[in-house]
Structure 1
Amino acid sequence: MFDGTQTTTPDGGGDLARLRDIYDGLLARPPAPPGNEALAELAGMARIFDLDADRPPAEVWRDLRAVLTRQGGPAGEADATPPPPTPSLTIMVVEDDPAMAADLVEVLVEAGHDVIGPFSDGAAAATAAGLHAIDLALVDINLAGDGDGVALARTLGQSWDVPVMFLTGDVAAAARHARLAVALVLKPYGRQDVLRAIARAAAGGAVKT
């Protein structure tokens, strides 16, 4: 169960520190903006956190930095507020950590969703996507084996029109590939983080309900 004790994360704090190195110059006086590619990644990542990206970059980064810092803190600390109700969805789970995959399935089933998987590699998940009607895929961005989560996200979107929610502690990778996801949950996470992200994606129309 996600009880606030989940601690598995591939250097999430280090990746957050690298993003701060890139973007904190926006908050300096005078500001020191990064390059155009970094600004595009900033806007993309803001959108998958449902933040208004059509603002000055400094404002976008200020809000996004707060979100990343909060979610990158101790898992479960924001679990007290229940997520809004979400209609039952068919959700694919792609996670190569067996314990985390089992926990995800349990949380989703308890919330009333149907689950396809879990799958530990992208190839099996891509094959299954052709056999099932899937509303949303929860994908670990750094999958081991033949295909990573980024490649799988492209396949799910381009071939099957399946929206993807990234699960990751690799914040820098999430920023680079934000355009491939409709939502993002940072590891370590609590059960409410996952359910809130699903509810946010559904409410915003990114997931057909």
Structure 2
Amino acid sequence: MFDADRMPPAGPTDPAMDPQSSVARLCAIYDPLLTDPEFALSPRAEQELKGLAAIFDLDSARRACEVWTDLRPVLTRHSPARREQPTAEHDGSLSLTLMVVEDDPEMAADLTDVLTEAGHRIIGPFHSAEAAEVSAALHPVDLALLDVNLSGRQSGVALARTLKDRWGVASLFLSGDVTATARAADQAEAILIKPFSGREVLDAVARVWRGIEVRR
């Protein structure tokens, strides 16, 4: 369950909230690890990487290259609204057919209410990937909002892959499992990490859809 008007608190000592810790700066520091796992980081850079890993609940005891491989997709795809004030990108004129797949009943109900009130048509909500997959064959869908970890046999990641391959439907991941989401970030257009507000969801949908439209 989420509060449509609540923003996540920002801790004053949280390095991910530091305006100087932009994604571009972090990529400049740590991207050499992607091509050279033995790349030597400064003590300060190593400390910051461990701090970022802790914030996103990633195992910081691993090699720096492994930590950055998991952390980078989260930072580059994670909604910027979690570090800034809401941008209100959804102006009420956008109306999409959205599939919601979320196995938490309260969260599913909240998502459905927020999206419906904003003018979107909802397919679902579904608690399992199997039910959502059947429905996708019957209903045109503009965008899918998927929880990564579902209670059925298939995960949200597998469903995202199926939706894309079979029907060309893009996905927005909604998850509290940062590690699993980071490893599957290439399957989604964007990521929202729980907890999030209703405004963050609407803004993320608007941003993702705008990006899809630009590519067409």
**TM-score in terms of structure 2 length:** 0.66
1:141-186 CA-partner distances (Å, limit 9, x unpaired): 0111221111111111111111000000111111100100001111
Deviations for 1:44-101, whole angstroms, at most 9, x for unmatched residues?
4455347xxxxxxxxxxxxxxxx5xx839xxxx945x423326211000000011110
1:83 counterpart = 2:89: yes
Aligned partner of 2:114 in structure 1 is 107
Q: Which residue of 1 aligns with 2:50?
A: none
Contact 1:201 1:207 in 2 (8 A): no
Residues 190 and 136 (structure 1 numbering): CA distance in 2 closer, same or farther, change over 3 Å?
A: same
Aligned partners of 1:100, 1:90: CA distance in 2, in Å? 19
Is 2:42 the partner of 1:29?
yes
Alignment partner of 1:71 out of 64, 82, 87: 82
Q: Which residue of 2 aligns with 1:142?
A: 149
What's the counterpart of residue 165 of structure 2? 158
Give the secondary structure class of the aligned counterpart of 1:145: coil
Structure 1 residues 124 and 163: CA distance shift in structure 2, 3 A? same
Q: Does the CA-based 8 Å contact 2:130-2:152 persist in structure 1?
A: no
Correspondence for 1:48 among 72, 77, 85: 77
- What amino acid is the match of 2:89? P
**8 Å Cα contact 2:7/2:82 also seen in 1:** no
Task: Rate the CA distance shift 1:139–1:208 in 2: closer, same or farther, 3 A.
Answer: farther
Q: Percent identity?
A: 43
Structure 2: 5+ residue runs without aligned partners?
9-15, 17-25, 32-40, 47-62
- CA contact 1:41–1:178 (8 Å) conserved in 2: no
Do the aligned partners of residues 99 and 88 (structure 1) sit closer, same or farther apart at CA in structure 2, a change above 3 Å counting? same
SS at match of 2:191: strand
1:168 maps to a residue whose letter is S
Alpha-carbon shift at residue 3 of structure 1 (Å): 3.6
Tell me the amino acid that sits aligned with residue 132 of structure 2. Answer: A
Partner of 1:202: 209
Instruction: Give unmatched runs, 5+ long, in structure 1.
Output: 8-15, 17-22, 51-66
Contact 2:160 2:187 in 1 (8 A): yes
TM norm structure 1: 0.68
Distance 1:123 1:208, change over 3 A: farther
CA contact under 8 A between 1:137 and 1:163: conserved in structure 2? yes
CA contact (8 A) 1:142 1:149 kept: yes
- Counterparts in 2 of 1:161 and 1:40: CA distance versus 1, 3 Å: farther
Rg (Cα) greater in structure: 2
SS in 1 for 2:212: coil
Q: Distance in 2 between the 1:26 and 1:174 partners?
A: 20
Q: Aligned match of 1:117 in 124, 141, 144?
A: 124
Count of aligned pairs: 171
**CA-atom RMSD, angstroms?**
3.4
Distance in 2 separating the partners of 1:113 and 1:147: 26
SS at match of 1:118: strand
- The structure showing larger relative contact order (alpha-carbon pairs under 8 Å, at least 6 residues apart) is 1
> What SS does the corresponding residue of 1:185 show, helix, strand or coil?
strand
